[in-house]
Structure formats: C-alpha cells, structure tokens
Amino acid sequence: MVSKDIEELYEKRLIFWGYGFLFLFFIVLVKLFYLQILRHSYFMRLAVKRTFSRVLIPAPRGRIFDRRGVLLAGDRPTFNLYLDPYYLKGHEDQVLRVLARILGEKLSVLKTRYLLKKRQSYGEVLLRQGLDWATVARIEARSYYLPGVRVEARPARFYPFGPAFFYPLGYVSRVSRRDLRVLQDKGYGPEDFVGRRGLEKAYEEVLRGQKGMREVERDAFGRIVRIIREVPPRPGRDLFLTLDAYWQREIYRLLKGRSGAVVVMDPRNGEVLSLVSAPSPDPQEFVRGFTHRAWEELNRNPYKPLLNKALQAYQPGSTFKPVTLLAALEAGVVTPAEEIYCPGYYRLGRQIFRCWRRWGHGKVSLVQALAQSCDVYFYTLGTRLDIDYLAHFARQCGFGRLSGLGIPGEKPGLVPDRTWKRRAQGKRWQKGETLLVAIGQGPLEVNLMQLVKFYAALGNGGTLWKPYVVEEIADPSGKEVQASRPRKEGELPVKGIHLRWVKEGLIEAVNGKHGTGRAARLKGIVVAGKTGTAQVVRRKKEHETKEEIPYQERDHAWFVAFAPAEDPQVVVGVFVEHGGHGGEVAAPLAGKILRMYFGEGKP
C-alpha cells in the first residue's frame, strides 16, 4: 500500500517537471521567434549601424636635397597598425589572439604593450609600425574577425646617408605627451613627428606641411565603408642645401675611429660645403625609436656621438695665434722686423711659461713665430696687450658669439676679460692669464665654425661672410619660394698690410722647412694654414707617449687652412678631440680633404 502511494507521487512529480520543461522550451522558442522573425529588421539595422567621423590625413614632410639635387632626407610610406579601444570592447582577447598569430608575437607581450599604450593614448592605439605587405594582407583577409583594427599607410622619414648627415640635418621623432602641451595648439597630434635637431628643427615650420581631412562613414566594426568628403594634405616645402653629399660621406669616412669635426666653406661667399661631426648616431634610429639599452649605450659612448663637435666650444690652441698677432700689430706693440728670443720658456715674476719646443726656437720674427708656432713669442705679445683690448678685438673677429650658421645647438664660446672673471669667479684678472689666452689656452673657448669663418676672412682680404647651408626653399613642384643670398657681416678691424704679414706666416707654416703644418702641403697649390694643440690637462710627466695618457686627458688637435693662398677657393677646418698634436693628426686630414677638393672630388 505504501509503495503504491510512493509510485503515484513520483509519477505526479515526473509529469509536473515534464510539463515545466516543455513550458520553458516553449518560452525559449517564443523568444527566438520574437528575436529572429519579429525583430529581425531591427537587429539587422543595429548590426550595420553606421557612425560618422573625421580623419586627419598626415602631410608629407618637405624633402632635403644637397647642392646637386641628391636626396638627403625624404618620406617613404610605412604601414602602421592601429587599435581603437571603443570598437574593441568585449573583443580584446579575441582580437589580440588573432593579431598575435599574424604578427608572430606572444599574446602576453602583445597584450601588455596594448594596455600600456592604451593608457598613454587619447584615442586609437598605435600597436605596431613598419608592417610589411604580407602582414598587411593577412590582417585585411581576417578583418571580419578584427573589429576596431585598422592598417594605415603613413609617411615615415628616411635618411639615405645615415650617420654622415646626422649633423647638420638632425632628425625627427614622434611627438611626446610633454610636447603636446605646447604643440597641440599648433595642430600636432600624438601620431605626428617633429624636428628635434639640426635643420629638421630649425626649419620645422617650412618642412612640416599642412594636414588634410577626410570625413568617413564606419560600420559597426569600425571599418570605413564610405568617404563622404576629403581635403587633401599640403606637402611641406623642400630645402636645397649648399652641402655636397659626396663630400660629406667621404669626410665622415676619413674621421672613422676618431672623435672630431670638419667644416669646409667657400671663403668667397660663406657657403658651407661640408659640416661633419663624428661619430654620429643614425638618424633612422630616432625615427624607429631606441630601446632603453641602446639609448644608454649611446649616452655612455666616450666619443660623445650626441655632441655636434663642429659647433661645440673648446680651447683653440695655436689656431688662435693669428688673432693675437693681428691685435698686437693693430695696437702697434710689435713690428714684422722685430725679433724675439725664445729660450724654451718665458718668466713672468715667479711663474714659468713653457714653449712647446723645450729647447726653444732662438730668435724668431713675426713670420717665423707664426710658422713654427713659437709660444714664447706670443707670451711676449700677451705681456704687451691688455686683456680687455684683446678680448674686444677677438669679438670683432667673430669670436664669443654665434657664427650665424643658424643650426640649433651652437655654443658661442667664451672670450674672457676682466668683467667676466669678476662676475664668474669674483676675482681679479691676472697678467699670467693674458699670456695663456694669447696662445689659445686658459678660459678661452671657440668653436670650429667660428675659426673657419675667421680664416676665410684672413684669406679673402678681411671680409667676414655669414656662413649658410640652406641655398633655397622650394615648393614640391620645384618652384623657388625663397633663396639665400651671401651676406657680409663686416670686415676684420685690421689694415691690409697686417693681413699680408699674417698670411705670409700661414703660408710658411705649411710650406716652410720648419712649418708645423707641413702635412697639409699640396703639389702645385700653395696652402696657408695653422696648426693647434690645445692642452686638456696639465701633465706632470713631460715625455709620456700618447698611448700612456688616458684618452680623456689627451690634447685636442686642430688645423685650419685655405687654398690657394693668394686667391682662396676653399677653407678647411679640422678638429680631432683628444687627438694629440695638430700637425700630426689634424693637418694630414686637412691635406687629404684639400687633395679631394682640387682633384676628382671637387664639388
């Protein structure tokens, strides 16, 4: 009896649950019918919902050419991968998994990069740059599974000559968040590039161009389905330089393994034919972006590749002696006929000032003193000159101020006087300091461009030309917009006869039997020039070899020359940082460059 009641109870429950499941199944069918049939058109419209947006089109940056029309900097297309977080909502893992397979990256690495850049970006996330055609094709083929993913062709800066033109071109890099605080009002966005150094920075407004605009319609996946309206971008203007690509490349090769700079200029008008600083980084690396490790290595490099040594200020050594000599001639404290005895040292009170030639030069005249770079001769002139007069004269010769080249980062150097020392050190000027300045040492600092500009004036009869590297600005069609014209800045404050005597000394320095610049001689062409050896650290031991001295304590080597001496066509300035003696290191390099100029390499 009990068992029969239990069976009936189970049977009733089974019937109840059966009808319950049937009812639920019926509800699901009704819901599906409602969604699939009755509401089909609504959800279809939702699925193909359109959005409208405005897309900025980047403008091609202006190109940079050398004096012959050789491309030095330009744009080439690159494919970038963008992700839009708005369309990726709910699909991030799926999309990143597909992209990881296409790009051949680990999903965890790709996801970390996306999340990091998502926090740093205001809108779309630039996930990858420089995609190849095959990768772009694979992404487009799977676009249905990649909502919010977009590949865009954008112009990327290209520097075909690499490090040889890092100076003076500079480079461009992506605008940072810090930059946007200043540049956003000028129309820059987070995906734009801006000039950072050199001409890329100095002529940013000329080169950057004007962005275009495209109004588009997008589907629910963020894909562009229709272009409503388009305003094309306006390319930037082109620069045509006075520089010669062949020269720049060959001179950079000459400096391989050294830290230094070379400037080559036309003394007849101020055209800069070459401006090289070595070693230099590859500007393309700044476009791609450095890894933290690569950036640290670049900054630790003892040869200082991030310094433009052609425009940095250093002690000039004996290359400054023509300034001292001209100042003394103009002041009337020395004559060409006067001979000064050099025993190898000069005594001023209790101080002993040594000549570079320990056993001395004996009696030397003006021409001999300049040719043999006799320190004692110039110490003597230093005692006869007032430092304020010498400083004022040097400034009139173009020192202590920017050369006028117009490339960012130039150091004006330092021409010391009494006022400077009182303000900088709170001390009085000492006579012994004038002796050091007279030979290009002490607190005196100049840059190579200033020296080349001054020696150009020595060679051309006294005219100080403003140096320039931009010959012409043109629109993309090649139509000239603006042309540079040679500009005189002034004249050296000297008499012509005094220039003649100094030039004789410079000719003897290269062509004379005892000249310090003999390594720069040319066959059939008279070269005039001056060596310089700038002491970095005062050495206690007098006879150490170059290899025994730590690199950072070795002397700087200089040489500046013009040729032909009587009617100069070219001025060459060479600076080798910690290179040793100017006559042994810098002069031979200048000789090779001059031989290139007057041989097959003439621009």
Which tens digits make up the pLDDT trace of 29-49? Answer: 666 666 566 666 555 554 555
| Mean pLDDT of the region 510-527 | 95
CATH superfamily entry for domain 245-597: DD-peptidase/beta-lactamase superfamily (3.40.710.10)
Question: What's the mean pLDDT when you consider all of the chain?
Answer: 88
Per-residue model confidence as pLDDT tens digits over 199-244: 999 999 999 989 888 777 766 656 666 778 888 889 999 999 999 9
DSSP state of 236: P
Instruction: Using alpha carbons, select from 76, 74, 64 the residue that is nearest to residue 248.
Output: 64
Compute the distance between CA of residue 117 and CA of residue 111 in angstroms, rounded to an integer.
Answer: 10
Spell out the residues 6+ positions from residue 101 whose beta carbon is closer than 8 angstroms to its own: none
* CB < 8 Å & 24+ apart, contacts of 498-502: 498/326, 498/329, 498/330, 499/326, 499/458, 499/461, 499/462, 501/329, 501/336, 501/366, 501/367, 502/322, 502/325, 502/326, 502/329, 502/370, 502/458
595, 587 contact by CB (below 8 A): no
Compute the distance between CA of residue 38 and CA of residue 28 in angstroms, rounded to an integer.
Answer: 14
Which residues are marked as active site?
318
The structure tokens listed for 507 are: 């000719």
Torsion over CA of 384, 389, 393 and 398, rounded to 10 degrees? 120
SS3 assignment, position 528: strand
Per-residue model confidence as pLDDT tens digits over 532-582: 999 887 655 555 666 678 888 889 999 999 999 999 999 999 999 999 999
Least confident of 28-42, 54-68, 175-189: 28-42
Band of the pLDDT at 478, cuts 50, 70, 90?
confident
Tell me: pLDDT of 92 over 90: no
Tell me which of 485 and 601 has the higher pLDDT: 485
b/e burial code for range 337-358 (CB count within 10 A of at least 16 → b)? eeebebebebeeeeeebebbee
Instruction: Using alpha carbons, select from 211, 203, 199, 206 the residue that is nearest to residue 283.
Output: 199
Q: Given this chain, do its domains 52-237 and 245-597 carry the same CATH topology?
A: no
Per-residue model confidence as pLDDT tens digits over 418-448: 999 999 999 999 999 999 999 999 999 999 9
Per-residue model confidence as pLDDT tens digits over 122-172: 667 888 877 888 888 998 888 878 888 888 888 889 999 999 999 999 999
CATH level 3 topology of 52-237: Penicillin-binding protein 2a (Domain 2) (3.90.1310)
Residue 128 has a pLDDT of: 83
Q: Which element (helix H / strand E) includes 80? A: strand 71-83
Compute the distance between CA of residue 325 and CA of residue 335 in angstroms, rounded to an integer.
Answer: 10
Tell me: pLDDT of 600 over 60: no
Compute the distance between CA of residue 405 and CA of residue 484 in angstroms, rounded to an integer.
Answer: 12
Nearest-Å Rg of the Cα atoms of the chain is 36
Tell me: pLDDT of 405 over 70: yes
Residue 287 has a pLDDT of: 85
Residue 68 has a pLDDT of: 95
Q: What are the sequence ranges of the domains in the chain?
A: 2-47, 52-237, 245-597
